[in-house]
A and B are shown apart, each in its own frame.
Chain A
Amino acid sequence: QVTLRESGPALVKPTQTLTLTCTFSGFSLNTGGMCVTWIRQPPGKALEWLARIDWDDDKYYNTSLKSRLTISKDTSRNQVALTMTNMDPVDTATYYCARINRYESSGYYAIIDYWGQGTLVTVSS
């Protein structure tokens, strides 16, 4: 059974750095094709993809937020962390971690097949 759970502060002040941790079970980030991603959703708004880390430690970022984001993994603990610097009230959102599963079928496809419950982060002084 695959599960993911986000943890981190519910409230951060403007200009601070946010660090979120995703703790997962039921799969290994040592397995080829497995990836973990972070996605956020401001209240009442759409989903926004943030970052991804692959089993081979390749890392990818939303081009608009790249300078502020860092994603890392600790495979021994089954954890993925996301840091976002210089937080602003517009970064108030529910942050989700999720698993990306890649498969081949007349091409290479990627699906987000399991999600955490999400954690609401509010940025306010």
Chain B
Amino acid sequence: DIHLTQSPSSLSASVGDRVTISCRASRSMSNYLNWYQQKPGRAPKLLIHAASSLQSGVPSRFSGSGSGTEFTLTISSLQPEDLGTYYCQQSFSTPIFTFGPGTKVDLK
């Protein structure tokens, strides 16, 4: 199974800051990487698929990049509503899915 790690595990940032979250895979998986946002008490929401494709309806301040084993989610200008936990998820070894451990984002 592919193992995913994320860094940092948590971060504090101010409104308007540029935020970067990393996801690393235990082996190369092309661009079969999705990103989800989970707000407290809510179900996760798909943000980015295929490493860099913005899901319909997601604000353009979110972007994704990377391929192989290194991936990045960027929030270009953090907004208060962006607080929550972000998870990467691989679909390379579909039908088996795995999620990263998550990165918690809160306001400084």
CB–CB A118/B1 < 8 A: no
Task: Evaluate whether A52 and B95 lie within 8 angstroms (CB atoms) in the complex, with A46-B100, A109-B32, A109-B49 already known.
Answer: yes
CB–CB A46/B43 < 8 A: no
Per the bound structure, the CA–CA distance linking A46 and B38 in Å amounts to: 10
Q: How large is the interface on B (under 10, 10 to 19, 20 to 34, 35 or more residues)?
A: 20 to 34
CB–CB B91/A49 < 8 A: no
Q: Per DSSP, are chain B's interface residues mostly helix, strand or loop, or mixed?
A: loop
Which of chain A's residues has its CB closest to B30's CB?
A: A107
CB–CB A111/B1 < 8 A: no
A: number of interface residues (CB 8 Å): 27
**Which residues, 62 to 97 on B, are CB-close (under 8 Å) to A?**
87, 89, 91, 94-97
The residue from B1, B43, B46 contacting A96, defined by CB atoms under 8 A apart: B43
Which of chain B's residues has its CB closest to A118's CB?
A: B43
CB–CB B87/A110 < 8 A: no
Per the bound structure, the CA–CA distance linking A96 and B94 in Å amounts to: 19
Binding site for B on A (CB under 8 A): 35, 37, 39, 46-49, 52, 54, 58, 60, 62-63, 96, 98, 105, 107-113, 115-118
